[in-house]
Structure 1
């Protein structure tokens, strides 16, 4: 089999740019639109940026960590890259679709690979009403915020907020509260991946709330609707034995 045509993309850090230059000298550097595989050099934030920026392509993305945590990345090694790409395992992830309406009627639509989060934007706790598939499930959640996470994002913000880690094949989403005050013992919920979730902000003028989908934000929202976008599939490559499934399991024992 002829060598794969690789497009190397790097974050703006010196480490990532240096890595891109070294790898391009060894393996060549093909334009993204013509590449067989995209290699993203950076951290998880840059990996998300790359996935969003190339979602119109049916091209798998292989990340190499030049950042800090690198949960979505493989270890950085220059030798044997072609062999690693040939042996890589593929995970397919569908993003969440957010539709947020602000107090002035502005509509913000965005996609999130990790999570969609709602956060209080003032000194007082937020008050949220939560509906699932058109049915109100929680009349009032008093909290600092809440988020809906995909399995891929369950070890990110969701885990920091004490949400559950989700295996990739679980076919569920995690609904997690942040610093819930009422109901005091509410710890969130696991929902089917095809669930349609709606947050309504109660007292939005007194208790303003912002919404965020992978760093695309909407301010002073009054309602946010979230569901999986099945028409977009992100193909992510991992070295054998180090895929998302293994990483999700491993994170629960550290």
Structure 2
């Protein structure tokens, strides 16, 4: 039994109507398979809805990029679902401190810090409690999961990280000083703390996927391995294969 979820685009809604009429629409709690129709953003939204329940989700691309999705085909869907291979991901947990308040959020792709004004941000970076960079002058910085390494991280010229590498990508955004620093690959178990220097003069926001916190003073980030998220992929188009192939485009 299949339960279909669809994004708000006309293409996704049209696909929902066609597939539900053809294969039926099982109740969410009774479905053996969940199928998400949309783009990567919708897949991230669905995974956030299901956090803590670890329901495997098979995505079909009715969006633009579709890196986390399978190709859209209406035929033989039950057979594709039976043959699909699972990829298990863990989100990042962000704790952002702002104005005496601590804001917690989870990120499936990345946690990013960005300057809020024309002034460059000045950041201090600690890993596992040890100072690694006393001052980074930049537009921002992000910490990406392997799945998120092909998203904003790649656009910021960060490395693509294979799913089974047990690594996170720490990538500066338009670094000014030190100008030649390109970031770092960190163990998945690393605890990253980013402190904002001169926060009143150079305000910084922090974003975990769709959750944004303004005027942060300090941000702590770590991978939460207690939470599993499972995505299903066609055997000839697995997420691991796509991550490798993306490096040769």
2:54 to 50, 54, 58: 58
Name the CA distance, whole Å, in 2 between partners of 1:206 and 1:249.
42
Cα deviation for residue 30 of structure 1 reads 1.6
Q: Displaced runs of 4+ in structure 1, greater than 4 A?
A: none
Cα deviation for residue 34 of structure 1 reads 2.0
Task: Name the TM-score, length of structure 2 as normaliser.
Answer: 0.99
Quick check: 1:173 aligned with 2:168? yes
Quick check: 1:77 aligned with 2:73? yes
Cα deviation for residue 33 of structure 1 reads 2.1
Please tell me whether the aligned partners of residues 96 and 102 of structure 2 are also in contact (alpha carbons under 8 angstroms): yes
Quick check: 1:190 aligned with 2:190? no
- 1:43-72, CA deviations, whole angstroms, 9 ceiling, x for partnerless residues? 000000001101232320000000000000
Quick check: 1:89 aligned with 2:85? yes
* Residue segments in structure 1 that go unaligned for 5+ positions in a row: none
Name the CA distance, whole Å, in 1 between partners of 2:50 and 2:29.
9
* Residue segments in structure 2 that go unaligned for 5+ positions in a row: none
2:230 aligned residue: 235
Q: How does 1:1-254 map to 2 (within 5 A)?
A: 5-102=1-98, 104-254=99-249
**How many residues matched?**
249
Task: Name the TM-score, length of structure 1 as normaliser.
Answer: 0.97
Please tell me whether the aligned partners of residues 112 and 142 of structure 2 are also in contact (alpha carbons under 8 angstroms): yes
CA RMSD for the aligned pairs? 0.7
Cα deviation for residue 35 of structure 1 reads 1.5
Name the CA distance, whole Å, in 1 between partners of 2:107 and 2:140.
17
State the SS of the aligned residue for 1:18: helix
